[in-house]
Structure 1
Amino acid sequence: MPRTVFNEEHEAFREMVRDFLTKEAAPHLQDWLAAKAVPRDFYRRLGELGILGIEVPEEYGGGAQSGHHFGAVLAEEVARAGVTVGTAMTHTNIILPYLLHFATEEQKRRWVPGCVSGDLMLAIAMTEPGTGSDLAGIQTSAKLSEDGTHYVLNGAKTFITGGTQCDLVLVVCRTSPAPAENRRKGLSILVVDTASAGFAVGRSLHKIGLHASDTAELSFSDVKVPVENLLGEEGEAFTCLTANLPRERLVIAVQAAAAADAAVRFAREYTQDRQVFGKTVSSFQNTKFVLAECATEVEAARLLAYEALERDARGELTADYAAMAKLFC
């Protein structure tokens, strides 16, 4: 399908990314998979190329681009090459928008330039050992000190993407009891410096895929977090968490469609090379049937993802359409 959603600038970016991944990611893939992470210097290389700050305003060192088109190109090229950029896309597409949308000007100037350069890598910590998708049940707590200068944070988180390498982690925690009529109230987001006393990284978790995207357990034992590190309004974390949902769903849809497209291409190439009973596997009728069905599903997924991409660029992407795109892709 022609990629009519992308312009010449996007395609030039595509060529740059493709060349970069060929030279600086593909040769190291097996080492990164074994290490369960990519090297920190790789993130700085992404920062040098402007990949981590594509949508960040120029005053913070970014490229000031609107929409997710450049991010979609990156996702397609990573999938096409069969490589990884570690947690870079989560850092850029999922977590950095929280700082751009909800941080104060002082906080942005303190954190965002480092996020763009790759010197500060982000993680967001919501999931807890006993709390999955029910975020209102979060037990990690933060108590404001008597002098009002800092919070004291205690609790544990699990399945945290980027947890072993992050420099800043956005921790969703309970700062006040939830009223009976609204369990979502009383949750706040604190930006925790991982060099803080009492912060610890637990196990680096084994997964069935995405092996070079580090995933970890985190713990907080009387971690002192300055009040200046409160993101958004105290007790209103759900406002922040839900505001970026359409974009997060779009990101997942685009990445899933790109991965599916690459998987079908890899399978097709394999069947063209593999010989069985003196014939290529691709010559068997059933192989053609299955690949045709897969290709059709991929085409439909890409159409949904691209339509969501265009709606997002126009400021018209709704939560329900983004959810449909994510679901199907």
Structure 2
Amino acid sequence: MSNNTEPAGTSRTGTGSDQLSDVLNLDALLSEDELNLRRTVRRFVDERIRPNIATWYEDAVFPTEIVQEMGALGLLGMHLEGYGCPGRSAVEYGIAAMELEAGDSGLRTFVSVQGSLAMSAIHKWGSEEQKQHYLPGMAKGEIIGCFGLTEPTAGSDPSSMATFARRDGDGWVLNGSKRWIGLASIAQIAVIWAQTDDGVRGFLVPTDTPGFTATPIQGKLSMRASIQCELSFEDLRLPGEALLPGAKGLRAPFACLNEARYGIIWGTMGAARDSYEAALAYSLQRQQFNKPLAAYQITQQKLVDMLLEIQKGTLLAIHTGRMKDAGTLEPVQISVGKLNNCREAIKICRDARAILGGNGITLDYSPLRHANNLESVRTYEGTDEVHTLILGNHITGIPAFR
């Protein structure tokens, strides 16, 4: 078992690192309420995630015991209004995502699956009865949800999904499969997308329904402190009221995916920042050839390059969040942030690991864990290639997806 307490110098409770690393004074762009929220979530990460994350990661355990703690902090569905949801701003949600992912991508992913995907689907497309029934408990963490869109042969192209729901009297019969579905084995309610004779529709499926099977995917090298599952539906019968009445066509799940993609813009910068800070602290302490690593020009170049990309990526996140709060954010702009910040974050984490040398491959330090997690974050909610083609279509007017 690895040491599950990260070395001195990686804690985010102090202010010295902020003052040295926020060279553009981006904190000046945040309100006092936003800064207070950051302090609250950062404290939660320092106290509840950092001391345990290496063990959770090594043992491939998702800590269900902190789910209701997250609910009590207002982190679940925090950008949604009404029905017991916190109703915070897009920027506040982004700040929380950044701090959570500085702890671990798996924990931020839980908040995203619960709030940006499952709860958003119900909030956007559900009936009043469905909203009243599920959202208050989900906001408290008493009910866990999952979101089933991706299939074994339909990842980047969900229009080719094979899962099908056919009408049967007043109800539905669901058959098919899904893959890489977060939280499914611990969820009580699943938002499942399926083809029908009327196009793609969304359904609320209690996970104890006969014919529903969730099997956790084993042997993961990434997102180990999280849960992803294979789902299968075998003649699964649903009542008519299981249908999400407002969800028609792929625009419905895509609207939820854009909520999740937005959170990734912020979250990846949290992983990058934590890796940078671990490398900076190590380089100041580690002696080689009678002086600290930080005294060497190559090390300083690596640290400066990391800092520049973190500052630019964070500025991009803040700007994107302000547009979202103003109601002016377009999907293509979300693609800019998702593509750029994922790509830069994973490079930062790898470069941070290099500064740590051989010690960096252990769970005593965070950068390689973050880099491994970001392989998943970079892939889900649209790969680099997909977001590149979205942007390519935008600037040329020519779709190149097929």
Question: Deviations 1:201-241 (Å, cap 9, x if unpaired)?
Answer: 1243333322111111111111112211111357x231212
Runs of 4+ aligned residues of structure 1 deviating over 6 Å after TM superposition are none
Instruction: Kindly provide the amino acid, as one letter, of the partner of residue 64 in structure 2.
Output: R
Match among 35, 41, 44 for residue 65 of structure 2: 41
Find the partner of 2:95 among 57, 73, 86: 73
1:163 — aligned with what?
184
**Contact (CA 8 Å) 1:190, 1:231: kept in 2 or not?**
yes
The answer to whether the 8 Å contact 2:114/2:146 transfers is yes
Give the one of 229, 232, 235 matched to 1:219. Answer: 232
Structure 2: which 5+ runs fail to align?
1-24, 342-402
- Aligned to 1:56, what secondary structure does the other structure show? coil
When residues 82 and 224 of structure 1 are mapped into structure 2, their CA distance, relative to the original with a 3 A threshold, is closer
- 2:47 is the alignment partner of 1:23: yes
Q: Matches of 1:222 and 1:303 in 2, distance apart? A: 49
Structure 2 CA distance, aligned partners of 1:253 and 1:83?
Answer: 12
SS of residue matched to 1:208: coil
Is 2:266 the counterpart of 1:254? yes
**Cα shift readout 1:16-55 (whole Å, capped 9, x = no counterpart):** 2222222222233234224434233311111122221423
Deviations 1:88-116 (A, max 9, x none): 23211233211111111111001111110
Q: Is the Cα contact below 8 Å between 1:129 and 1:158 reproduced in 2?
A: yes
Which one of the candidate residues 93, 106, 110 is aligned to 2:129? 106
Q: Distance in 1 between matches of 2:67 and 2:301?
A: 42
Is the contact made by 2:174 and 2:237 (CA closer than 8 Å) also made in structure 1? yes
The equivalent residue for 1:56 is 80
TM-score by length of 1: 0.89
Q: Name the CA distance, whole Å, in 2 between partners of 1:248 and 1:316.
A: 17
What is aligned with 2:312? Answer: 300
Name the amino acid aligned to 1:170: V
Structure 1 residues 1-329: aligned runs within 5 Å: 1-58=25-82, 60-65=83-88, 67-81=89-103, 85=107, 87-145=110-168, 147-148=169-170, 150-176=171-197, 186-233=199-246, 236-329=248-341
Instruction: Structure 1: state its 5+ residue gaps.
Output: 177-184
* 3-state SS in 2 of match to 1:3: helix
Cα distance, 1:81 vs. partner? Answer: 4.2
AA matched with 1:128: E
Report Cα offsets for 1:60-88 as digits up to 9, x if no partner. Answer: 112222x3222222222224445853612
TM-score normalised to the size of structure 2? 0.74
104-113 vs 185-194, greater mean Cα deviation: 185-194
Aligned counterparts of 1:79 and 1:87: Cα–Cα separation in 2: 10
3-state SS in 1 of match to 2:146: strand
Partner Cα separation in structure 2 for residue 81 and residue 212 of structure 1: 11
Q: 1:192 to 1:248 in 2, by over 3 A?
A: same
Answer whether contact 1:29 1:84 (CA < 8 A) is retained.
no
Give % identity. 25
Q: How many residues align?
A: 316
Counterpart amino acid of 2:219? H
**1:164–1:204 contact (8 Å) kept in structure 2:** no
Question: Residue type of the partner of 2:236?
Answer: V
Q: 1:21 to 1:300 in 2, by over 3 A?
A: closer
Q: C-alpha distance in 1, partners of 2:156/2:219?
A: 20
Match of 1:181 in 2: none
State which drifts further: 278-287 or 82-91. 82-91
Q: Deviations over 1:101-143 (max 9, x none)?
A: 1111111001111110111111111111122211111111111
318 and 11 in structure 1: CA distance in 2 versus 1, 3 angstrom threshold? same
RMSD of equivalent CA atoms = 2.0
Residues 1:122 and 1:48: Cα distance change in structure 2 (over 3 Å)? same
- Aligned partner of 2:173: which letter? V
Amino acid of the structure 2 residue aligned with 1:221: E
Code of the residue aligned with 1:207 in structure 2: it is K
Q: Distance in 2 between matches of 1:253 and 1:92?
A: 16
Q: Deviations over 1:238-257 (max 9, x none)?
A: 12123345433321111112
What is residue 179 of structure 1 aligned with on the other side?
none
